[in-house]
Chain A
Amino acid sequence: DSGVTQTPKHLITATGQRVTLRCSPRSGDLSVYWYQQSLDQGLQFLIQYYNGEERAKGNILERFSAQQFPDLHSELNLSSLELGDSALYFCASSVSVAAGGSHNEQFFGPGTRLTVL
C-alpha cells in the first residue's frame, strides 16, 4: 500500500458524460500527478499539481481538467467522454518539487478504471 488513495475504483459511464476522479496523496506529499494508462499507449503523464498550483502539463486533452485543493487532495475532471477515454487513471504523489534537482520518486495510487460505453 503506497499511501495514495483513489476513488472510485471503477467507473462505467456513457459517451458525452462527465466524471470526476479523486485522489488523496500520501501524508506530507505536496505534489500530485495524474497519469492515463491504456493498452496501446502505456502510461502517459497528464498533469501535475504542487501545493495547489498547476506545475506541468503533459498529454492532457482540453476536455480534461484538474485541480488540487488546500487539503492537497486532487480531482481530475473528464468531460464530453469518448470511447477512447476508457483507461486506467492513476494518481501519484511525491514529497515535493525542489528547484535545482532533488530527486523524488513518485508513489502510485491503486487507480480508477474508467469504462466509457
Chain B
Amino acid sequence: EDKVVQSPLSLVVHEGDTVTLNCSYEVTNFRSLLWYKQEKKAPTFLFMLTSSGIEKKSGRLSSILDKKELFSILNITATQTGDSAVYLCAVDDSGGGADGLTFGKGTHLIIQP
C-alpha cells in the first residue's frame, strides 16, 4: 500500500523566517510527487516533481525531489502571514493520473506576525 508521511505535523514560526517541510513516501510505481497548499477550502496546486535533483521554484517557494532516498522538501523563504496553511504532499503511483493521488496528512504551518 502506498504511503506518504509528512513532517512536522505542525509548525509555528515568525514572519520572515525560512521553513522546510518534509515528505517521505513509499509507492509501488512512482510517477510524480505533488505539493498542494490548502487554506480554508480546496487544495491549490504548487508543484509537480518527477525527476530527482531538479529544483522547482515559484517566488519564495521551492521544492526538490530525491528519488533514491524517497523524499521531497518544500522550502518557503521570507515567510509571510499569507503562507499560513496546510501543505499537502501527494504521490501519483500509476502514471498519467489513472489512479487517485495518495496524500499525506499535511503540515499545518502558522506564520505569526
Contacts and interface: CB of A to CB of B under 8 A. Distances in A.
Interface of A: 2, 4, 31, 33, 35, 42-48, 55-56, 58, 90, 94, 96-111
Interface residues of B, number: 27
Interface in B40-66: 41-45, 48, 50
User: Looking at chain B's contact residues, is the secondary structure mostly helix, strand, loop, or mixed?
Assistant: loop
Contacts of B44: 2, 108
A96 to B, nearest CB: 7
Contacts of A104: 96-97
Nearest to B88: A43
A90 B43 contact: yes
Given A42-B106, A90-B43, A110-B42, A103 B92 contact: yes
A102 B100 CA distance: 14
Contacts of B32: 103
Nearest to B106: A42
B100 A58 contact: yes
A108 B101 CA distance: 12
23 contacts: A33-B97, A33-B101, A42-B105, A43-B43, A43-B88, A43-B90, A45-B101, A47-B100, A48-B97, A48-B100, A55-B98, A96-B97, A100-B95, A101-B31, A103-B48, A103-B92, A105-B34, A106-B34, A107-B45, A108-B36, A109-B42, A110-B41, A111-B41
Interface of B: 31-32, 34, 36, 41-45, 48, 50, 88, 90, 92, 94-106
